[in-house]
Structure 1
């Protein structure tokens, strides 16, 4: 999208568009008398919405917004997300975490092959004691940051193999 900021109106527009696409696909399956596929699409959509709703428990509102709008901001990445989140008080400055994630993916976008799609799995974990966000991109990527980076209230770790880039950001 070229811009790492999205307005509330744009977010609502994108969300409506995505939801209407899902409904039209369900209607298409029903019209084609493919009821099992329609049911599966409904279940997939509600599961995805449930995952997004769980992000509120993370207690990092800027990070929640970044994760929710990821698909719209970074179109080259095809995202799936899982969340296991227990409510808790987080010590990390969520604005700094979100800014860091924005900077990371903006830098990464500069190295991407525009003809490729980058399958991305995001796993958000949080307990009362701590939280982590692990992002796995299944595609050949250049190393974004050469060394692990330490911040005051969160830690960043990056590993890269032949066709998998794994990035974890965590804190208390």
Structure 2
């Protein structure tokens, strides 16, 4: 697949990171940035057009397999978003669905395997900790590095498991303040990788 020159990609990352910092400075670190419906729709439409342009570019270059791959990835992501709604945790679902628009410098990937709507309810506590962790690291992201966050949600009627897996480069001390009402298992926390798992059981 065609890639832009490294200098162009770095400039784009610096611009996106700047937008992240503007958002944080306006809202204040520790506050949940709320987007209006019009802002979300505008961002979603812009993202959709970008995907179409990328598909068209690959077709123009006769890269049929690359174009198909983009379509497959796009469809897979939206199937994951659709499955996520079965979680019935509105605040957490909204946080995940709008993450890409609030933090555009971080590539976002969702994997959702919600078999049934869980009886356990930890919606507010979950979104509060997710937001706390991302705002802890976001102002300190390296503008010359690529950043990628994978959120994986698994759930049955009796339990919920949410994995936060961030890769990139940042310069900030590990987050020490962890709430006592959440079961948090930290698997890795360095200046390049941060992975933890939230577990909830009935």
Task: Give TM-score scaled by structure 2 length.
Answer: 0.74
Runs of at least 4 residues off by over 6 Å: none
User: What does residue 166 of structure 2 align with?
Assistant: 137
Q: Which sections of structure 2, spanning at least 5 residues, go unmatched?
A: 1-19, 28-32
Say which is worse superposed, 39-48 or 105-114, in terms of deviation: 105-114
Note if contact 1:149-1:157 (Cα within 8 Å) is conserved in structure 2. Answer: no
Shift of 1:116: 2.5
Q: CA separation in 2, counterparts of 1:74 and 1:140? A: 15
User: What does residue 156 of structure 1 align with?
Assistant: 184
Q: Which sections of structure 1, spanning at least 5 residues, go unmatched?
A: none
Shift of 1:43: 0.8
1:68-147 matches, within 5 Å, as 68-141=97-170, 142-146=172-176
Note if contact 1:88-1:127 (Cα within 8 Å) is conserved in structure 2. Answer: yes
Shift of 1:33: 2.2
- CA shift in 2, pair 1:147/1:96, >3 Å: closer
Matched pairs, number: 170
Shift of 1:111: 3.0
Aligned CA RMSD, in angstroms, stands at 2.1
Higher helix share: 2
Shift of 1:161: 4.5
User: What does residue 12 of structure 2 align with?
Assistant: none
- CA shift in 2, pair 1:145/1:171, >3 Å: same
Q: CA separation in 1, counterparts of 2:138 and 2:190? A: 18
Shift of 1:162: 6.5
